[in-house]
Structure 1
């Protein structure tokens, strides 16, 4: 079967043919780590995690690069507002982002390069563009370097725009530009900016423009030509348009396919910090488990805008719990759950059709319904195959409740039981120490252990058969 993907550049669903047989190069624009991640932020990571899982399921070897923008105008502005070093803000927000990814079982990419670690590659790329006549240092002494959009005739091809129809690039003072639409490749350091936020270059100390960062990192790890470039739909212009222009103007073919996930909206508007309608991951996870939030995201097609509501989230959680309930009952009947199942044919057809997760999830629920009918008959090969098939499909979507990745988050099936068992083992060890202390008539030590246990909210009761405990 052939995987078909919607290519934003051609505006059509195309058969996916990788540049190298059996291998896929996938680059996804990660986040600018300026603030805490919210539900809208992580949708892209979840969607492209499903893509790489599906490609691997189909037998491809995937090199998946997802970058981090850790130097940017917004980071400098926010760090100044908060009175902290820019690198401290970026680092702290990167930690929060990693926690969000773990909470939603987003598998790590092959590599996650940070912009600040690739300044030499960016300078080299800018120099190549200048040599080819597609970039120029500003004549105003600012130290800025700009891409000359009118020097590259195909500029605008990704978003199907003419240069004269575009808004000016609002990324630098226009006085140094030949055309208002020329965008910054390098930004000369300003006196108001910290020295640490600049690097030496042939044009003086400064820092890279946003767009050149991704071109340099994609080229370093995937080469001049690779298969798929992805990101949020809001990045199509100007970010991805500019990436493609500068990379191709420098001599590379760049991406063969462009994929963009849609927004999660609230009240019809893109969820964003600037609109004040954000929902942080920790706050949402106080209401539902991470596995349920991820299920809510993957159940919608990646190109469909999702109007977020807690009612819809609760409905998705309930639907997921029905699947989880089937697996638990199947485990009780079978004594174990197989992990070597085969995805249903309808599921695979749906996934091959531009990651059609709504139809895939429908196919999954149909298999669960058939499985529920088999439960009454007791253990059988058919029930085993059905349970294995359900787990395989859930694994592709990243929501298998028995995936060990969920254990650390307390989201998966049996997480509560595993937590109880872990606490039981810890308390049992302390009680053994207390019993030995009492045997040794070391009453002070015995009392100290009892007080430690009580401070943790656990009540110990001494019985003729030994001590027991309950959560107070």
Structure 2
């Protein structure tokens, strides 16, 4: 599966700072020191309704992580999946009377278009669950052989007790985990499971649903969590730098994925930091496909909204914060974009050397984009008041905003 084209990232003078970021597993900030190649895995979409603002906010956060790393002169090995076969996708296709493969391809193509328009840097590897199945099956067989998985009426389940570190990503107690499992695709009440929290690794073929050859597992399709584990281990290995996604993936997805990988390899941790973006609401409720309260990037673009303004709307909120989409927050972003573009269009302006360092420091400090925007706003205010004659300054500001925040002025 191919990703989308990369926009050019301007080189800035000097060198950026190492990223300090909030790690869900420890509950505090960690300073990431990835070495010459930083490794990041971000969970991708289930392509039946893309790309809403919750998606955009999540991928904006991890685009910023990449940009901070690139500014430190590192390379970035970024991997993202597409869950192109799953119950919600099949249910939507059945509801609409369309082919599930066609639906997945259509929505994935739209997602690529939106990511391109928003100038999100593409992953080096963009992998669909379906194409990963040949690598998933052997991992499940290994877990079965090791006694870390078991058969229940043809379905294969992972035993969470096989990983002594289970629970260390979310730090939730059993009852919270059980409730979230039921809410987010698990089946804690199924009779016969060794532990209500045990997640499915391989679903035996059901009538009317797609299935694949599972070798010793029999025909079926993979569970949600093992998909990402197989892709991450194949392309990044254990102990990669950041596992990313929305905060709704903390449990069960990232918790279970970590345990799958740790049981498979005997190594810990799966990722050095677990980083999660907040949720975006509309009309007082979290945007969700089930509720249908979604604002789509593509719809905004069709209505004439500049993608740079959409991105500035996202940047106005700290990535870990939950916030609400309104016409007002978009209007403020449109106005900010207009002021910034007018300011950098002038032939000279106040010196921007300090601004570069302010933006770098803000983003290295747990991706503090509101502080970064405020720094640019201050420079723009000085520019509007005629406060400088540095002919290089407008270009420096434009390149800084582009390189570090992905906004083209």
Flag whether TM exceeds 0.5 (same fold). yes
Q: Does 1:119 align with 2:133?
A: yes
Q: Which residue of 2 aligns with 1:458?
A: none
Is 1:103 matched with 2:96? Answer: no
Q: TM-score, normalised by structure 2?
A: 0.88
For the residues of structure 2 that align with 1:157 and 1:314, how far apart are their CA atoms? 41
- What is the correspondence of 1:273-352 to structure 2 with a 5 Å cutoff? 273-285=289-301, 286=303, 288-330=305-347, 344-352=356-364
In structure 2, what is the Cα distance between the partners aligned to 1:363 and 1:131?
Answer: 56
Give CA-to-partner distance per residue, 1:362-400, whole Å, 9 cap, x none: 11112223333457x7xx4x2313531343233310002
Counterpart of 2:4 in structure 1 is: none
SS of structure 2 residue aligned to 1:182:
coil
Deviation sequence 1:70-125 (CA, Å, 0-9, x none): 01011111112222221111111111111111221112111111111111211111
Q: C-alpha separation between the residues in 1 aligned to 2:120 and 2:208?
A: 38
C-alpha deviations, 1:133-164, integer Å up to 9, x for none?
Answer: 211122x2xx2100112333322111112345
TM-superposed CA distance for 1:52, in Å, is 0.5
What corresponds to 1:469 in structure 2? none
Contact 1:262 1:304 in 2 (8 A): yes
CA displacement at 1:64 relative to structure 2: 0.6
Match of 1:87 among 76, 101, 110: 101
Mapped partners of 2:244, 2:284: distance in 1: 23
Q: 2:66 aligns with which of 52, 62, 84?
A: 52
Structure 2: tracts of 5 or more residues without a match: 1-16
For 1:221 and 1:341, the matched residues in 2 are separated by: 38
Matches of 1:351 and 1:232 in 2, distance apart? 19
Structure 1: 4+ residue segments shifted above 6 A: none
The 1:74–1:134 alpha-carbon spacing in structure 2 relative to 1, beyond 3 Å, is same
The 1:60/1:342 distance shift into structure 2, 3 A limit, reads farther
Do 2:47 and 2:83's aligned partners in 1 also have CA atoms closer than 8 Å? yes
2:377 equivalent in structure 1: 365
Q: In 2, distance between residues paired with 1:393 and 1:341?
A: 13
The correspondence of residues 182-221 of structure 1 with structure 2, limited to 5 A, is 182-194=198-210, 197-221=211-235
In structure 2, C-alpha distance between the alignment counterparts of 1:119 and 1:345, rounded to whole Å: 45
Instruction: Tell me if the contact between 2:344 and 2:394 (Cα under 8 Å) persists in the aligned partners.
Output: no
> Counterpart of 1:433?
none
C-alpha contact (below 8 Å) 1:371/1:386 kept by paired residues = no
Q: Please give the per-residue CA displacement for 1:238-290, whole angstroms capped at 9, x wherever unaligned.
A: 11110011111112431000100101111332111211211122322215211
Q: Deviations over 1:327-352 (max 9, x none)?
A: 1233xx69xxxxx9885222121111
Corresponding residue of 2:83: 69
Q: Which one has more relative contact order, counting CA pairs under 8 Å at least 6 apart?
A: 2
Conserved in 2, the CA contact under 8 Å of 1:33 and 1:90? yes
Q: CA RMSD of the aligned region, Å?
A: 2.1
Provide Cα deviations, 1:153-193, integer angstroms capped at 9, x if missing partner. Answer: 32211111234553174435823422222110000001132
Matched, 1:232 2:246: yes
- Larger-gyration structure (1/2): 1
**How far apart, in 2, do the equivalents of 1:301 and 1:148 lie?**
37
Contact 1:231–1:260, Cα closer than 8 Å, also in 2:
yes
Q: TM-score, normalised by structure 1?
A: 0.77
> Are 2:388 and 1:388 equivalent residues in the alignment?
no
Distance 2:58 2:395 in 1: 29
Q: Structure 1 residue 3 and structure 2 residue 14: aligned?
A: no
* 1:139-154 → structure 2 map (5 Å cutoff): 140=153, 143-154=154-165
Contact 1:129–1:135 under 8 Å retained in 2: yes
Q: What 5-or-longer segments of structure 1 have no aligned partner?
A: 335-339, 402-472
For the 8 Å contact 2:316–2:369, the answer to whether it is kept is yes
